[in-house]
Structure 1
Amino acid sequence: MNVTETMEIKNGTGIRKKRRLGLKIIGGILGVLVLFMGVLFIVNVISKGVEKKKIEPYGQYVAVDGKQMNVFIQGSGGQTIVLLPGQGTPSPVLDFKLLIDELSPDYRVVAIEPFGYGLSDPTEKARTTENIVSEIHEAVQQLGIGRYILMGHSITGLYGVSYVNSYPDEVLAFVGIDSSVPNQPGMDVKLPLKSMQFLQQSGLMRLLQKVSGDPYASLDYDEHTKEQMTLISNQVAGNATMMDELKHLGSNFKNGEQLTYPNDLPVLLFVQSNNEHNEQWVPLHEAQVKLSSQGLMIPMEGSHYLHHTKYKEIAKAFKEYMQQIQ
């Protein structure tokens, strides 16, 4: 065997050793990752079980489509506000607490938690606008409410316009809190639903929330309410009902893009004035209120959840508006 052949054998042996070492390192990393994900999953499952027992019931249940829908009633004013949440809000009642407290001295406020939200049951029925609107209306009927003001955040702008056209003799006025516009652009985007569900079910979202800190820290909620919102969020976020609603988001907007509020319906819209993601956000809402003979848009600087920080201003402006139109 000459020198060249000997060197080739040595080089080949060295390459194989490096390859085996590389495979062992990769295998070790994968093993640690699998173990980490396994621990994360188990911790998430155990934590959810423990946390579920710490959730304190609020409101009352009404029977809707053979299931239980949670509603919360506060105040005893002469007029009733039916309050609806934005898409994915884990606990609508607690999320609206600051605003409810401001409104309830003068109004009877009925906050509804649709199926899959808060303390309401989940449902396997498709989350089309028609089904969601019908279920909410059934809850209102079960409570014996005849005439009311419909108020809501975000996606309620889509469901609400369908609602008031379906039940025009019941709704006295519509009030949107940075509410969606049926013809707003970009709603046909495909959402990574499986990835979103994986983040929740694996426990990764719980870990990310721990690292990122308390999302309610700078808000005016009391500590007990913050704790309860976190507990409920860990239970319902990413559940199958909410995921199905996101699945139908594009088609719901497509089917409702031509809908407008009736001309004789008073429409009050509180709109985020500093929306950096959609330059047409304010003009879209301006166009909506112009279609109403008693339409008014009030721009406010803040986050999409305007009622978290502007609840006093919203309540005050709303009461003034209602006095003007009556």
Structure 2
Amino acid sequence: MKKILRITGKILLLLLIVLVVLIGGIFIYNKIMLVSEEALIEKPIGQYVEVDGHKMNIYAEGEGKHTLLFLSGSGTAAPVLDFKSLYSLLSSDYKIVVIEKFGYGFSDVVDSERSFETILRQDREALTKAGIEGPYILCPHSMSGIEAIMWAQNYPDEVEAIVGLDMALPRAYDNWDWDSTIKKERLAAFARELGIVRFFYSDSQLPEKLTDKEKKIYRALAASKAVNTCIINEGLAIPDAVTEIDRKPKPDIPMLMFVSDGHETGVENWIEIQNDYISDLTNAEVIELDCGHYVHNFRQDIIAEKLVEFIEEDSEEEVEMILQIDGKEIPVTWEDNASVDALSELAANGLEIQMSMYGGFEQVGSIGSSIARDDKQTTTSAGDIVLYSGNQIVVFYGSNSWAYTKLGKINLSEDELTELLSNGDVTLTLSR
């Protein structure tokens, strides 16, 4: 019996030694690879902007009337690359933007609180500093659905619609086991430190549309940043965010929800929650997809097709009003409000307005009658079209702060607007 115990003990000791050597080898290999991969991730795929004293990466490509803003799910190591399979199908028609929050992709890891109010403030500031203006069609994956809803509740003028990519909704977290989740995330963070996480990002596990170099970049970012303190702290902030969302009405804006089979989400009634959420909204649809949680990497073709249909159908309902300045047609995105509706009625028979330069930052002219107004204190920027005192239209090539009603936004650069509006009085014509 003692002999058997001695043999068993030796076998266990040998296995332990092999395990220690194996983990030690993986640890050393990972450290060597991290050094060799530094050049791969030295420069971002996108542009850095400074927010709260740290670097945040913003990626943008394409042009178009609508801006699709992609928000990644929890723990996605490289959002710019993760969404590529989908946005590469859309960038010829729309402006594509991907935010990499702190702790994600090329952005800095910060050791600070990660409330969703803070995350939203930082994302909005980053977009402003990158010169990317709304309104946005938010395209959140997974946990970022919470941020998207909060964004639409708090800043409705900035959100044109929400396209959910298997996005999480408040009720998905009602019975969530937070203790277990945090333990798993901390274990995963330890696995990253050991170098084990690297082996979960083999080529077969990464989006197939990526080039070999992009897969190496994805793997390098995952090995250096996966499941860091930002991601863990975000998870801890979800209950408070859900409570805050539940205090306010649902944002009744156009929504298109692409939903997975739910098996990878850890939520038993995942699909039911999605359908329940939209049941009392006026313009919302759920499209069920028979695939895993990262729907944009499994069903990108059908998502792109349905997303385009959704945007174009919604656009057909927008105000069709043509703006000309000194006979030149100018691209405009009009607001959806009573003032624009009234202005559109006046434009039905053609409306010519003699404008005058004022203050070195605007052109102003009378529309000849008073229309509905909903003035709010506003700081304008170049391209803004507003209603002043209910009977004057103002077009800005600079900035001013006053109580206005928003009418629209001219889709030209600041330099183009200055050239168009700063060289003397102009004639503005509205027609349908």
Work out whether the TM-score is over 0.5: yes
What is the aligned partner in structure 1 of residue 271 from structure 2? Answer: 282
Unaligned runs of 5+ in 2: 316-432
What is the aligned partner in structure 1 of residue 177 from structure 2? Answer: 188
Q: TM-score, normalised by structure 2?
A: 0.65
The aligned amino acid for 1:216 is: L
What is the aligned partner in structure 1 of residue 304 from structure 2? Answer: 315
Task: Map 1:147-166 onto structure 2 (within 5 A).
Answer: 147-166=135-154
Q: By percentage of residues, which structure has more strand? A: 2
Distance 1:89 1:32 in 2: 32
Paired residue secondary structure (1:134): helix
Task: Map 1:108-257 onto structure 2 (within 5 A).
Answer: 108-144=95-131, 145-184=133-172, 185-190=174-179, 191=181, 192=183, 193-207=185-199, 214-216=204-206, 219-253=208-242, 256=245
Residues 273-295 of structure 1 deviation map (CA, whole Å, 9 limit, x = unaligned): 46475452222111222232111
Paired residue secondary structure (1:291): coil
Residues 201-252 of structure 1 deviation map (CA, whole Å, 9 limit, x = unaligned): 1123334656xx62137x3333332232222222221222223223444554
**Contact 2:67–2:134 under 8 Å retained in 1:** no
Distance 1:231 1:133 in 2: 27
**Contact 1:294–1:325 under 8 Å retained in 2:** no
- RMSD between aligned alpha carbons? 2.6
**Contact 2:260–2:290 under 8 Å retained in 1:** yes
Paired residue secondary structure (1:323): helix
The aligned amino acid for 1:267 is: M
Distance 1:207 1:259 in 2: 43
What is the aligned partner in structure 1 of residue 254 from structure 2? Answer: 266
Residues 97-123 of structure 1 deviation map (CA, whole Å, 9 limit, x = unaligned): 121111111111111100010001111
The aligned amino acid for 2:36 is: V
The aligned amino acid for 1:161 is: I
Paired residue secondary structure (1:221): coil
Unaligned runs of 5+ in 1: 1-13
**Contact 2:111–2:230 under 8 Å retained in 1:** yes
Distance 1:274 1:37 in 2: 34
**Contact 2:197–2:222 under 8 Å retained in 1:** no
Q: TM-score, normalised by structure 1?
A: 0.84
Distance 1:29 1:273 in 2: 40
Which protein, 1 or 2, shows the higher relative CO under an 8 Å CA cutoff with sep ≥ 6? Answer: 1
**Contact 1:84–1:111 under 8 Å retained in 2:** yes
Distance 2:309 2:14 in 1: 66
**Contact 1:60–1:72 under 8 Å retained in 2:** yes
The aligned amino acid for 1:118 is: G
1:82 pairs with 69, 75, 79, which one? 69
**Contact 1:274–1:301 under 8 Å retained in 2:** no
Paired residue secondary structure (1:103): coil
Paired residue secondary structure (1:231): helix
Task: Map 1:71-110 onto structure 2 (within 5 A).
Answer: 71-110=58-97
Paired residue secondary structure (2:178): coil
Distance 1:259 1:31, change over 3 A: farther
What is the aligned partner in structure 2 of residue 11 from structure 1? Answer: none
- The worse-fitting range, judged by mean Cα deviation, of 109-118 and 315-324 is 315-324
2:35 pairs with 49, 59, 65, which one? 49
**Contact 2:195–2:223 under 8 Å retained in 1:** no
**Contact 1:289–1:295 under 8 Å retained in 2:** yes
What is the aligned partner in structure 1 of residue 419 from structure 2? Answer: none
**Contact 1:182–1:259 under 8 Å retained in 2:** no
